[in-house]
Amino acid sequence: MPSQRLSVVVTRRLPESVEERMKELFDVTLRVDDSKMDRDSLIAAMQSCDVLVTALSDSIDTDMLDAAGDRLKLISNFGAGVDHIDVSGARQRGILVSNTPDVATEDTADMTMALILAVVRRIPEGLAVMQSDRWTGWAPTAMLGGRLAGRNLGILGMGRIGQAVARRAHAFGMQVHYHNRKQLRSETEQSLGATYWESLDQMVARMDIISVNCPHTPSTFHLMNARRLKLMKPDAVLVNTSRGEVIDENALTRMLRNGEISGAGLDVFENGNQINPRLKDLDNVVLLPHMGSATVEGRIEMGEKVLLNVKTFADGHRPPDQVIPSML
């Protein structure tokens, strides 16, 4: 498209500096509040703009793309994951899709380690004791957790985030193992101190902690299913900062309640914010509201990538972070 002030609709509130820059560059419609747009509102937005800036909370399916009309030419997603968008369907209709990759790597890895520490060292339980004024003083056997050094960490998915987790875990003295679609190069393995397992089942059965760091695709849906969860050691811990659909949440809940798995730290859930209520009642689970990438620095960097993608498109070029269906 020729360089011009594109009509842009943003579906959620973004950092103020990003919104101000959007107002300078584009004919932009911003949200007054930060509520999730319903389906009809999303369709109306798609019909009214050249570019729709979406977020993880916006599901864009085939029927919505059909209803969008001919004006919409770019869906610029604020975030790396695009499994909530029918990318192939958009491409078939001449609509490009872009995302913001490689921004949340370090932030998500930090949160992974925070969840590991929180579960293994029972930090939320200790916090609850203090906040409820139930602490009666130090005791030799009170609030005993575990030591991270020497524990076997199995990383499921050794992409950028998985490798960032491996570097942190190595610094804690943990033994790093991983399962991935492809084995890393030997020099990368050596730098991370990581051991490759071709068999996910064999790795899961031997680890003290499993960290899920793979994307949600048809092949990874319920990759940690009931059968595979049962392979975990009773004193093992499961942490997920990737996508909730990778784990069978109902099966995990049953096993946690029955003491078949020691604990879990979850930042993502299978059904979005509709969390199994039985999971919330467990003392051996740490639940967070999808905070893995929630840093000021990260959100601003995401916004800057969105700006670059849309501005590049406005100048008549393909967005630098265009998503191609074959990449998914």
Domains of the chain: 7-103+295-327 (3.40.50.720), 105-287 (3.40.50.720)
Q: pTM score > 0.75 for this model?
A: yes
Given phi > 0 = left and psi -120 to 50 = alpha, else beta, which region is 265?
A: beta
| Residue 243, amino acid | R
Average pLDDT, 10 consecutive residues per value, the chain (328 residues): 77 97 97 94 97 96 96 96 94 97 96 98 96 96 96 97 98 98 97 97 98 93 98 98 96 97 97 92 95 96 98 96 78
Tell me how far apart the alpha carbons of residues 11 and 55 are, in angstroms, rounded to a whole number. Answer: 7
- SS3 of 129, please? helix
Residues 6+ apart with CB under 8 A from 256: 263, 264, 279, 282, 284, 285
Q: Given the structure tokens 């059904």, which residue do they identify?
A: 271
The first and second tokens of residue 81, run together, are 């994951």
Tell me how far apart the alpha carbons of residues 257 and 282 are, in angstroms, rounded to a whole number. Answer: 7
Letter string b/e over residues 293-304, b meaning 16 or more CB atoms within 10 A of that residue's CB:
bebeebbbbbbb
Name the maximum alpha-carbon separation found in the chain: 71
Letter string b/e over residues 199-217, b meaning 16 or more CB atoms within 10 A of that residue's CB:
ebeebbeebbbbbbbbbbe
Q: β-strands 285-287, 263-266: how paired?
A: parallel
Q: What is the pLDDT of residues 130-145, one digit of tens each?
A: 999 999 999 999 999 9
